[in-house]
Amino acid sequence: MKNIIIASTSTIHGSGYLEYILDELTLLYKDTEEILFVPYARPSGITHDAYTEIATKAFIKINKRIVGLHTFKNPIEAVQNAQGIFVGGGNTFVLTNMLYKNNLINVLSQVVNKGTPYLGTSAGSNICGLTIRTTNDMPIVYPPSFDALKLVSFNINPHYLDPDSKSKHMGETRETRIKEFHKFNTQPVVGLREGSWLQVKNNTITLKGNLSARIFEVNKTPYEVETGTKLNDLK
């Protein structure tokens, strides 16, 4: 019964917040009037209120109300009662930490597995994987665990970036980092480029958007999959 969109980014270059994906969101939330927004990732450290305002303005365009999870006294009940959920991007460590502190990891996973429509962007997509160990974010807080919602059987690397052959910078490329990940972890990693998303409907996982994605499996050469490819068997 899963009904999930795992998006690389909320915003593509030269476009407004969520603008590139609004048609898809109309379908995802077709039976949802009010969406529970999880503002915990706080991009640039903005407040929960300010972040909820950004989401509200985007969803007005498709006639959806937004309500911030931080406004509920009992966030577990809020998640249980939600018609639809959107977890926005920002810092994955901050997001994960808040989910653990509020005992929301299990309940979020349960309701989404039972069919509550879920949109994640960036950090909100990272947490859909088995762990957050392939986030690009800075570890500015220390969460109780790196384990995530496990809505899919692999890890997500959002904002996937190809190596820049002209760069003189000696820091690791994204590909190098994910290869290091596979020295210590066995699950596949989906490198989602900005503008790409995974649509999860029941047990069918489809790459959407205009771009290909890069798949990293342990002890295999990384490879590209074209948009439209099913990733049901990736685990």
Q: How many of the other CB atoms lie within 10 Å of CB of 233?
A: 8
CB of 48 closer than 8 Å to CB of 75: no
Binding a second copy by CB under 8 A: which of 178, 192, 205, 213?
178
Question: Whole-number minimum distance, CB 191 to a second copy, in Å?
Answer: 12
- 44 is annotated as an active-site residue: no
DSSP letter (8 states) at residue 209: S
- Site membership for a second copy, residue 218 (CB under 8 A): no
What burial letters (b/e) apply to 158-196, b meaning 16+ CB within 10 Å?
bbbeeeeeeeeeeeeebbeebeebbeebebbbbbbbbbb
Which of 154, 162, 163, 168 has its CA nearest to residue 217? 154
- 137 is annotated as an active-site residue: yes
The owner of tokens 């996982």 is 205
- Site membership for a second copy, residue 166 (CB under 8 A): no
- Site membership for a second copy, residue 172 (CB under 8 A): yes
DSSP letter (8 states) at residue 141: S
Binding a second copy by CB under 8 A: which of 1, 50, 60, 141?
141
Contact window for a second copy (CB under 8 A) among 78-86, 90-98, 109-117, 202-210? 90-98
- Site membership for a second copy, residue 60 (CB under 8 A): no
- Site membership for a second copy, residue 52 (CB under 8 A): no
Q: How many of the other CB atoms lie within 10 Å of CB of 234?
A: 17
Binding a second copy by CB under 8 A: which of 22, 111, 161, 234?
161
- Site membership for a second copy, residue 180 (CB under 8 A): yes
Q: Could you give the CA distance from residue 78 to residue 71 in angstroms, rounded to a whole number?
A: 10
Q: Which of 8, 122, 125, 196 is catalytic?
A: 122
- Site membership for a second copy, residue 146 (CB under 8 A): yes
Task: Please list the active-site residues.
Answer: 122, 137, 159
In the complex, which residues of this chain contact a second copy (CB under 8 A)? 9, 11-14, 42-45, 90-91, 93-94, 132-142, 145-146, 159, 161, 168-172, 176-185, 194
